[in-house]
Amino acid sequence: MRFIIYGVGAIGGTFAASLATAGHDVVGIARGEMLAAIRNNGGLTFRTPTDAQLVSFPVVGAPAEIAFQPDDVILLTMKGQHTAPALEELRAADVTTEAVVCAQNGVNNERLALRLFPTVYAMTVMLPADYVTPGEVICYGTPKRGLIDLGRYPHGLDENVAAIAAAFDSAGFAAFPLQQVMRSKYGKLRDNLGNVVEAALGHGSRSGPLMDAIQAEAERVYAAAGIDWVAVGNADPRRKGLMEMGAVAGITRTGGSSIQSLKRGTGTIETDYLNGEIVLLGRLHGVPTPLNAGLVAIGHELVARGAKPGSMSEAELRTRLGT
């Protein structure tokens, strides 16, 4: 089994470095400054609470550069706004029945993948990691680097699930095969609704009455849509003593994926596929979603004006959301 990590960023970089260090066959697909830095440096600099090392593994710039094999496991680790073109690149590279694992935030990626490929898996990733500097990824999870929920999409278990879970266990993660894995992904989506709040207000602003209201809006939508979900956030009892936030020498945590996008100036943000998913479901099922709709608009404005993380005050954000 070979792991193709499509998107070597915070999550993909942690996966690639961990799996490669554990002796698994890994190929990364990266782009831009990250691709150049890995090639120029002879590997990816990977920092954890216990050490820092330069991890070498093959890296290419596009799927077309890979001769895919039937037992390959393709892990999608790009953000949701980049999934559709990535899947088209895989199809153009003659990917057919290989396992495609959506190790991403949101719940839209799996449906897009299943339209093109028959063997699709959903993976919920609870993994505190940063990618801000090209060629470097920092993972804060300890003693396990992250928690992984995994199952076939839309539901079910099979031999691939067992093999992938075993590989991740060997690489320092705690993997949990789940028959109904999308329950976990909807729980993670509920937590990710704070990503754009953190991007607007700065790291550490993902709790309080405003977040409670944003998540309550999502819960009303879930109820109307008949969506079953399970909490996977900080209150998840699996985290206690298994995967907690550790300190990495000389490093201050940047924050979640959206705050990292603003800090790197990527020109895009994932809000359409996080808060925007709640807005879509609300429209489909007749549930008003003014808070999440407002956050979608704010996310796009932050990107359009090249805003830095924490550029809004809470008073300004509340005014914009009408709270």
The residue type of 142 is T
Residue 256 pLDDT > 90: no
Region 94-106 average pLDDT? 97
Residue 236 pLDDT > 90: no
Rounded to 10 degrees, the C-alpha dihedral 291/297/298/301 comes to: 180
Tell me the pTM.
0.95
Pick the CATH number of 2-321 from 1.20.1730.10, 3.40.50.2300, 3.40.50.720, 3.30.930.10: 3.40.50.720
Per-residue pLDDT, 253: 87
Going from N- to C-terminal start, the domains of the chain cover 2-321
Rounded distance, CA 307 to CA 200, Å? 8
The residue type of 298 is I
* Locus of tokens 């879970």: 165
Region 51-56 average pLDDT? 97
Rounded distance, CA 43 to CA 32, Å? 15
Per-residue pLDDT, 76: 98
DSSP state of 241: T
Q: Is 205 helix (H, G, I), strand (E, B) or coil?
A: coil
Pairing of strands 147-152, 141-143: unpaired
Rounded distance, CA 75 to CA 57, Å? 15
Region 23-28 average pLDDT? 98
Rounded distance, CA 106 to CA 258, Å? 13
The model's pLDDT over 180-205, given as tens digits with 9 standing for 90+, comes to: 999 999 999 999 999 999 999 988 88
Region 292-311 average pLDDT? 93
With a pLDDT cut of 70, the percent of the chain lying above it is: 100
Average pLDDT score over the chain: 95
DSSP state of 308: P
